[in-house]
Amino acid sequence: MIVPRFGDPAEARGAFVTFEGGEGAGKSTQIARLAATLRARSGRGVCVTREPGGSPRAEEIRTALLDGVAKPYGPFAEALLFSAARIDHLDRLIRPALRRGETVLCDRFVDSTRAYQGAAGGLDPAVVAALERVVVGPTRPDLTLILDLAPEAGLARAAARGAGQGAGQGAGQGADRFEAESLDFHTRLREAFLAIARAEPERCAVIDAGRDPDSVEAAIRETVAARLPDLLPGEGSRGDAA
């Protein structure tokens, strides 16, 4: 099925915005803030979701993945499980919401597979691209906000949150399957996300996530206003704020 892109006058479709970046970069924090702004300002429905997960079946796969059940099988098998979760998530939640004209804000999507299983995990990029083609098809993000942060800082944030709140979502106590990877792995991740942004500048915007939450929120809001002005009418276009 061909889904017209956002703004296509022939058939309205909601906007699809994804948040990407390393561990603890602040995606969940900023998605909640942007959702509140959009609900107050845009007049469109806003659907907040995440990967892996977002639909009941995909949440079950999330639990297994973050508990490390698939790790012994290697990055290809993990990518297949992320893809299985994504198929259900797209069919059950993302595509129906877009068809209703809603704005979908998704915490991680295909760029995480490219970065985690591909660039950092060592899975052949051609395999990642082939999976993406068959799983996602035309349902591509209109805007991807890449929250960029030194991995040491992100892991420290995630650890501090874990210490304060107990288990991660879908994982046991302490670091989950991916948080527990080496610093070298997380450094490769950061480079991979920045490389994706360089390769697809029309879709991606890099946000400096090392600042305080209010400053990061302001930068995201400015970027959304510039890239998808229909979502924040009257906000003006002052260019990207990253």
Least Cβ distance, residue 224 to ligand T5A (angstroms): 17
Site residues (vs ligand T5A, CB under 6 A): 23-29, 51-52, 66, 82, 107-108, 112-113, 116-117, 157-158, 161, 168-169, 176, 178, 212-213, 216
In the bound complex, what is the minimum distance in angstroms from residue 24's beta carbon to ligand T5A?
A: 4
Of residues 12 and 87, the one with the C-beta less far from ligand T5A: 87
Residue among 10 and 133 whose Cβ is closer to ligand T5A: 133
Of 12, 4, 229, 24, give the one whose Cα is nearest residue 147: 24
DSSP assignments along 163-201, one per residue: HHH-S-TTS-SSS-TTTTS-HHHHHHHHHHHHHHHHH-T
- Nearest in space to 97 (alpha carbons), one of 16, 152, 39, 27: 16
User: Which is closer to ligand T5A, CB of 51 or CB of 88?
Assistant: 51
Strand partners, 105: 17, 48
Closer to ligand T5A by CB, 169 or 182: give it: 169
Q: How far apart, in whole angstroms, are the C-alpha atoms of residue 69 and residue 76? A: 14
Q: C-beta of 178: minimal distance to ligand T5A in Å?
A: 3
Nearest to 19, CA basis, from 187, 167, 217: 217
Query: Are the C-beta atoms of 17 and 143 separated by less than 8 Å?
Result: yes
Nearest distance from residue 26's CB to ligand T5A, in Å? Answer: 3
Nearer to ligand T5A, 234 or 242 (CB): 242
Taking the complex as a whole, the smallest distance from the CB of residue 4 to ligand T5A amounts, in Å, to 25
